[in-house]
Chains A and B, each alone.
Chain A
Amino acid sequence: MTATIELESVPFIQKFKLIASDNKTEFIIDEKILNQSAVLKEMMEIQDKSDTEITIPLNQISAECLGNVIKFCKHYEDSEPYLPPIGPTACLSRPSQSHWDMVFLKSLSSKQLFDIINAANFLNISRLIDAGCFRLGYMTENRTVEEIRRIFQESGDFSAVEEEQIRNEPLWN
């Protein structure tokens, strides 16, 4: 009797197997983690449930990066769905440096950080995209234009005259 109740009360949890770009490294995750990615969630909605893991190959994401993404999502597996801040006041809502997200992202190298943001964008995990962007925002703090170029690996293409023109343009800055 008790055994039956137990069986009924345990909900079916679909497992997924993500395979990284090296075709070797596998991550087994459940719905709570998968659903944070809008892309994968949408993909899996049309998929039938299966007793075994559903395999999803992610050729674009390296094993190391995918591990980091899953680590982040695991931290939020039981949280409320994320609502991104919008509008011109969005910059006022940035998390403090001691926030878990910021500490986690700070522990990554800049290569790892850039990879995780691109991967989050690819998988459309809005919480991770925003956290990454906030972290990038902190990295631009008190930097010169030249330093920002170096951080983001962007090359400048303005002439000195044009640069001066843009510099003088805003009335308030």
Chain B
Amino acid sequence: MPLTPTKKRKIPAKNSVESNLPILQEGPNIESFFANEIMINVFKFLPRNVLDKCRLVNRRWNDIIDIHGYNFARRSIDKLNIYSEFCQNFITFGGFSLASRSEIQYVLDGNDHVGVPGIVHILKNSNIKCLVIGPIDLCDSNAEQILSVLQGADTHIMEIQMRRVGLGNITVKLFHKFCEKINTKRYAFSEMRQAQNEYFGNEFFNKMIFKESSYIYIKGLVANALAVPVAVDDETLLDFIFGVNIKSVERKVACLELPSISSQFVTKILNRFANEADITHMVTEATLLLCPPQTVLRSYQSLNIRLGYVNYASYNVTENKELQVEIIKQKGYFVNVFLSLGEKY
């Protein structure tokens, strides 16, 4: 049912200042309070779900949002899953948005780029809270295709989780480049298949993109049905934890399973912490899961671990901060090491 007889309003030409000069009106019966120019500025700061409501207000608002849409907010997608279940050539983009309770699925034929504009249109300017990649076997062509979609759509990704991703068909260099181009601050890798040492080795921890992320989680690396350690040497991991050569970023959590650290690691980190001049970029919580006990304990203390718990601390005078190292015995053979940075207690 039509609400009121519609009155066509003229939309002033874009970017013309004269036509947009505000007319300040008085009194209660004001038809439209704000000039288009101001409305554009209001819309610029609104999240997408509110913008979609604003489009329903009236023709004028709908037209403004349509014309200037490219300037406005991204759509919010809570989770986007990119996977390829049966055939490497078909990539499925599945996702949902809680705000609108909407769900979507889109299958891309990896052999050609015909479908790319479609998915780019759907994802255009979205803000993706969590991008889940996997299960998929990454190779040059599908990695490139995923990137072309995400970059073409100019998405903003807050977190990426890779789960059950096969790395057998992609080189180390391309895999790192792939992660780098997705560009987020939070990375989680779990159950990665064919993840040989080099994929999560020294080179990984020297990459700026991982160094500057606020959250790194690596767990469950597998190759040929065997668990693969996170093959990083002490010095590289220490530089990573202390945040050497990086600037003004918030680094919070790093969690690595099966790190290949030496028996000197805990001693080294405690000594270095006490003498380090700049700890402003240090990871505040680092967790090393499943370390072989002899690698982190001094021999005379390995007796204590039978009780299940050993605790060390180191104090940095310049910053008045304390580093706590807790070693907790896991079921069976392994120990977990927790490093936490805090105020001097």
Q: Which residue on A lies nearest to B50, using beta carbons?
A: A140
Given contacts A88-B71, A172-B77, contact A157 B45 (CB under 8 A): no
Residues of chain A from 109 to 145 with CB closer than 8 A to chain B in the complex: 114-115, 117-119, 121-122, 129-130, 133-134, 136-137, 140-141, 143-145
> Within the assembled complex, what's the spacing in Å between the Cα atoms of A168 and B184?
31
Q: Which residue on A lies nearest to B22, using beta carbons?
A: A118
Q: Are B32 and A154 in contact (CB under 8 A)?
A: yes
Q: Which residues of A contact B22 (CB under 8 A)?
A: 118, 121-122
> What distance in Å separates the Cβ of A127 from its nearest Cβ neighbour in chain B?
12
Given contacts A140-B54, A157-B59, contact A118 B24 (CB under 8 A): yes
Q: Which residues of B contact A137 (CB under 8 A)?
A: 42, 45-46, 50
A17 CB-CB contact with B under 8 Å: no
Candidates B4, B35, B97, B127; contact of A156 at CB < 8 Å: B4
* Chain A-chain B contacts (Cβ-Cβ < 8 Å), number: 146
Stretch from B99-107, B301-309, B319-327 forming part of the interface with A: B99-107
Q: Are A133 and B42 in contact (CB under 8 A)?
A: yes
Q: Are B75 and A170 in contact (CB under 8 A)?
A: yes
B48 CB-CB contact with A under 8 Å: yes
Given contacts A122-B22, A154-B57, A172-B104, contact A88 B72 (CB under 8 A): yes
Q: Which of B4, B52, B104, B156 has most A Cβ within 10 Å?
A: B52
Per-residue CB contact flags for chain A residues 46-62 toward chain B (1 = under 8 Å, else 0) read: 00000000000000110
The count of chain A contact residues (Cβ–Cβ below 8 Å) is 47
Given contacts A140-B54, A148-B53, A152-B33, contact A88 B125 (CB under 8 A): yes
Q: Which of A92, A134, A170 has most B Cβ within 10 Å?
A: A170
Q: Are B73 and A152 in contact (CB under 8 A)?
A: no
Q: Which residues of A contact B30 (CB under 8 A)?
A: 153
> Within the assembled complex, what's the spacing in Å between the Cα atoms of A148 and B126?
24
Q: Which residues of B contact A143 (CB under 8 A)?
A: 53
Q: Are B32 and A91 in contact (CB under 8 A)?
A: no
Residues of chain B from 1 to 27 with CB closer than 8 A to chain A in the complex: 1-4, 6-7, 21-22, 24
Q: Are B35 and A121 in contact (CB under 8 A)?
A: yes
Residues of chain A from 57 to 113 with CB closer than 8 A to chain B in the complex: 60-61, 85-92, 94
B117 CB-CB contact with A under 8 Å: no
> Within the assembled complex, what's the spacing in Å between the Cα atoms of A135 and B4?
30
The count of chain B contact residues (Cβ–Cβ below 8 Å) is 57
> What distance in Å separates the Cβ of A162 from its nearest Cβ neighbour in chain B?
9
Q: Which residues of A contact B41 (CB under 8 A)?
A: 129-130, 133
Q: Which residue on A lies nearest to B53, using beta carbons?
A: A145
Q: Are A172 and B42 in contact (CB under 8 A)?
A: no
Q: Are A172 and B122 in contact (CB under 8 A)?
A: yes
Q: Which residues of B contact A167 (CB under 8 A)?
A: 56
> Within the assembled complex, what's the spacing in Å between the Cα atoms of A142 and B280?
39
Given contacts A172-B102, A173-B100, contact A122 B57 (CB under 8 A): no
Q: Which residues of B contact A5 (CB under 8 A)?
A: none
Q: Which residues of A contact B7 (CB under 8 A)?
A: 157
> What distance in Å separates the Cβ of B253 from its nearest Cβ neighbour in chain A?
22
> What distance in Å separates the Cβ of A150 from its nearest Cβ neighbour in chain B?
10
Candidates B21, B34, B75; contact of A173 at CB < 8 Å: B75
Q: Which residues of A contact B33 (CB under 8 A)?
A: 114, 118, 152-154
7 contacts between A and B (CB under 8 A): A60-B24, A91-B47, A117-B38, A153-B31, A155-B31, A166-B56, A170-B52
Q: Hey, which bits of chain B sit against chain A, CB under 8 A?
A: 1-4, 6-7, 21-22, 24, 30-35, 37-38, 41-42, 44-50, 52-62, 70-77, 97, 99-100, 102, 104, 122-123, 125-127, 154, 156
Q: A140-B50, A172-B100 are in contact. List 13 more A-B contacts (CB 8 A).
A: A88-B154, A118-B38, A121-B22, A121-B37, A134-B45, A137-B46, A153-B31, A154-B57, A154-B61, A157-B58, A157-B59, A158-B58, A173-B99
Q: Hey, which bits of chain A sit against chain B, CB under 8 A?
A: 60-61, 85-92, 94, 114-115, 117-119, 121-122, 129-130, 133-134, 136-137, 140-141, 143-145, 148-149, 152-160, 163, 166-167, 170-173
